[in-house]
Structure 1
Amino acid sequence: MPRVLVIDAHPDDRSLCAALAERYAAGARAGGAEVELLALRDLEVDLNLRRGLHGDQPTEPDLVRARAALVAADHVAVITPVWWGSVPALLKGFLDRALERGWAYRYRDNGMPEGLLAGRSARVVVTTDSPGWWLRGLMGDSAVRQLTRSTLRFCGLRPVRATRIGQVHGSTADQRAAWLDQVEDLGRADTRRTPRRGKLMPPLPAAEPEPVT
């Protein structure tokens, strides 16, 4: 049975993204997967990488659990809106904290990067108020490129497929219902082509002990 991790990256639990994440998870379960739905808004994690890439920062228990879910997953789905041509601060901060250098990726002696989460596939679902010709043509599909190429593939996940949902602004109830059905079908289909596989298993750092007061 494949394991699927669904990441809901919207700050609002009443959002279309939250509903899409639920439906993708439902489709993955119908496809035979063991599913974990991770709503980033519920994590108690400092999303500010306070010392950049060169300093130590306490690892909160929720971050340890999120990394464990990434390690266990055979397939990862990220559901996020596109805001200002990028992703919400909630998702960006989570990626900064979770995908630590030396854990999710490293650099070889020749300077080339190596993804340490290889053996996993991914699906990115973005919602947007922009028309497709604007998002892809004039904006260069910046959020999708950031997630698929600069983040997930960089960390070794392949293949990484992308689905764009929009225009959300001004959409009808029928359009939203169709998008929900579409994403549920994607969850089912992605699961059926995601067998359990041999994958790299990065070590999981322990949570920092609670300070004595």
Structure 2
Amino acid sequence: MGKRILVILGHPSSNSFCAALAERYAQSALRAGHEVRQLFLGRMNFDPVLREGYQQVQPLEADLRRAQADILWAEHLTLVYPIWWGGIPALLKGFFDRVFLPGFAFKYREGKAFPDKLLQGRSAHLLVTMDTPPWYYRWIYRMPGLHQIRKTTLAFCGIKPSKTLTFGPILGSHAAQRQRWLEQAQSIASH
């Protein structure tokens, strides 16, 4: 029996290599019998700035309400995004700021240091591109754009990252290398 999978493209461009990875992953998951929905953040209409923090409710745009419904529907999330300046793109960060809200993704309780994880029971794959060699990003930079998503965003809300694939350097890569990376994305989606 297949899973309900939500693929989130965190790159603003639908013509990027990230978009190709997201599409290959989604098609492979469909062929494997999973139900798949996709979110292309660059095509969504929303303000990525959480204007007043949590001091004032900022009404969610229709696209963000649909995104929350898709997240609740999903058993598994796949995030596809590039590393820019060592971290995640502003659009993806803004998406998390606006969608992973208290009462939806987590909830603080009086007297408890850590919040309840309201999205518990879900798993995640991360497909991450970069121009830095992945070994350098890991050992020298210590992977801030991966830790931010895996630990302080997904795990904080109860989503368990189960697999991370890093692809790079994209800059200067050749067609055969990109094809191998697409096949890696296809392979993990089919399980």
1:97 alignment partner, SS class: helix
User: Is the contact made by 1:8 and 1:17 (CA closer than 8 Å) also made in structure 2?
Assistant: yes
Superposed counterparts of 1:1-213, under 5 Å? 1-109=2-110, 110-189=112-191
Q: What SS is found at the alignment partner of 1:103? A: coil
Partners in 2 of 1:160 and 1:118 — Cα distance? 13
Q: What SS does structure 2 have at the residue aligned with 1:154?
A: helix
Alpha-carbon contact 2:126-2:161 (below 8 Å) kept: no
What CA distance in whole angstroms lies between the structure 2 residues aligned with 1:120 and 1:18? 23
Percent of aligned pairs with the same residue? Answer: 43
TM-superposed CA distance for 1:177, in Å, is 0.8
**Distance between the aligned counterparts of 1:132 and 1:9, measured in 2?**
19
The question of whether the paired residues in 1 share the 8 Å contact of 2:131 and 2:168 is answered with: yes
Give the letter aligned to residue 15 of structure 2: R
Give distance in 1, aligned partners of 2:141 and 2:58. Answer: 35
Structure 2 counterpart of 1:111, one-letter code: A
Secondary structure of 1:62 counterpart: helix
Deviation at 1:111, TM superposition (A): 2.1
The runs of at least 4 consecutive aligned structure 1 residues that moved more than 3 Å come to none
Aligned length: 189
Matched residue type, 2:155: R
Q: How far did 1:101 drift?
A: 1.2
TM-score (norm 2): 0.96
| Aligned-partner Cα distance in 1 for 2:62–2:135 | 42
Question: Gaps spanning 5+ residues in structure 1: where?
Answer: 190-213
**Does the aligned pair in 2 maintain the 1:152–1:160 contact within 8 Å?**
no
Counterpart residue type for residue 77 of structure 2: V
1:15 to 1:159, Cα distance in 2 relative to 1, 3 A: closer
- Which has the bigger relative contact order, CA under 8 A and spacing at least 6? 1
In structure 2, distance between residues paired with 1:132 and 1:11: 22
Structure number with bigger Rg = 1
* TM-align CA RMSD: 1.0
